[in-house]
């Protein structure tokens, strides 16, 4: 759906490129994540993809056509949820939504969307009275109200509670399952892990790795099994290589003779893999 080739970008007041020749593809019907610390170039890349920033180098195609050749009708296909709230605070939620709705040819079922994110009851409240979480959920409704084919989400769960974060994640998955394509930027590992079909690690404007979270875990994880069992009133832990574990006598004996407390594969978290691949952490970077 999107193909990005050797993308470079420099802000007018900067000396160096903030995006340093990245290439990737977003396939139709997938959730593609951009994972990286603050300042890595995630939001800049998103702003280039949605044609807000234009003076980039390299090529970007959308459905096989250079994005630079698209007019404003491009936005009939695109839904964008920005990280910060973007509503008129002295208007109600519905007044905001109804205003934006009229700017598009295709209109989604707003009532269903508002109910889905738990804002229907508050639809006649001024947005200025909304909590940050409510504003972010309204951002998502705003992004979906034109029934987009491609959805861009910038740090979608930042600042909202776990229950509402789950609602949003489910909504994104439903959007994908209905044929939509999603591009997510986040520094929150669980978002990427739970949502994305593929993820790119971005640090200092460079992509260090692209693959599915599952493949990354298999590739970078330890191929081992960790066993915890009781012996003499104590918990003892032992680790076995995954290869030919079914023929490992010691492992099989422990299984047969001991009271097993836990068994875990040596799967690493995405965060560990991110640190291993990029050499930097996700949370210790300042905004």
Partner 1 sequence: MNPNRVLVLVKGELIRLNKYNVFAISILLALIWGVMLYFVNNDILKALLPMILLIDASMMSIMYIGAIMFFEKNESTISTMLVTPSSNPELVLSKVLANTIHNLFSSILIIIAFVLLKHIELNYLMMLLGIILTTAFFTILGFYMAYFQKNFTGMLVNLMIFSFALLVPTVLYEVNVIKADWFQYVLIFNPIQAGSELISGGFKAYAFEWQYYFSLLYLLIGSIFVYRFLVLPKFHDYAIRQSGV
**Interacting residues toward partner 1 by CB under 8 A:** 11, 44, 47, 50, 52-54, 71-76, 78, 80, 82, 84-91, 95, 99-100, 102-105, 142
User: CB 247 → partner 1: shortest distance, Å?
Assistant: 58
Residue (86 or 254) nearer to partner 1, CB: 86
User: CB 155 → partner 1: shortest distance, Å?
Assistant: 13
Residue (80 or 165) nearer to partner 1, CB: 80
Residue (154 or 191) nearer to partner 1, CB: 154
CA atoms of 160 and 168, how far apart (whole Å): 10
Residue (92 or 157) nearer to partner 1, CB: 92
Identify any residues that bridge with 182 across adjacent strands, giving them in sequence order: 31, 151
User: CB 71 → partner 1: shortest distance, Å?
Assistant: 8
Residue (81 or 268) nearer to partner 1, CB: 81
User: CB 113 → partner 1: shortest distance, Å?
Assistant: 16
CA atoms of 10 and 253, how far apart (whole Å): 61
Residue (24 or 70) nearer to partner 1, CB: 70
User: CB 230 → partner 1: shortest distance, Å?
Assistant: 56
User: CB 201 → partner 1: shortest distance, Å?
Assistant: 23
């Amino acid at each position: 759906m999107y193909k990005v080739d050797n993308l470079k970008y420099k802000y007018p007041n900067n000396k160096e490129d903030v995006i340093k020749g990245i290439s990737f593809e977003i396939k139709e019907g997938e959730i593609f994540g951009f994972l990286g610390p603050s300042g890595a170039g995630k939001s800049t890349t998103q702003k280039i993809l949605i044609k807000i920033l234009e003076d980039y180098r390299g090529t970007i195609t959308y459905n096989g056509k250079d994005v630079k050749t698209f007019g404003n009708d491009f936005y009939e296909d695109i839904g964008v949820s920005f990280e910060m709230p973007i509503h008129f605070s002295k208007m109600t939620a519905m007044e905001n939504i109804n205003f934006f709705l009229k700017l598009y040819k295709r209109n989604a079922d707003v009532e269903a969307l508002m109910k889905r994110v738990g804002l229907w009851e508050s639809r006649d409240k001024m947005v200025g009275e909304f909590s940050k979480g409510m504003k972010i959920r309204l951002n998502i409704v705003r992004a979906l109200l034109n029934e987009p084919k491609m959805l861009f989400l910038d740090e979608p769960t930042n600042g909202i509670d776990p229950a509402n974060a789950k609602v949003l994640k489910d909504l994104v998955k439903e959007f994908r399952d209905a044929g939509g394509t999603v591009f997510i930027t986040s520094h929150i590992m669980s978002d990427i892990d739970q949502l994305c079909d593929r993820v790119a690690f971005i640090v200092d404007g460079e992509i260090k790795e692209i693959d599915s979270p599952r493949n990354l875990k298999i590739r970078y994880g330890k191929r081992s099994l960790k066993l915890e069992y009781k012996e003499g009133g104590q918990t003892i832990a032992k680790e076995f290589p995954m290869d030919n574990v079914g023929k490992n006598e010691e492992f099989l004996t422990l299984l047969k003779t001991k009271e097993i407390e836990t068994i875990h594969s040596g799967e690493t978290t995405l965060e560990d893999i991110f640190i291993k691949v990029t050499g930097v952490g996700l949370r210790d970077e300042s905004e």
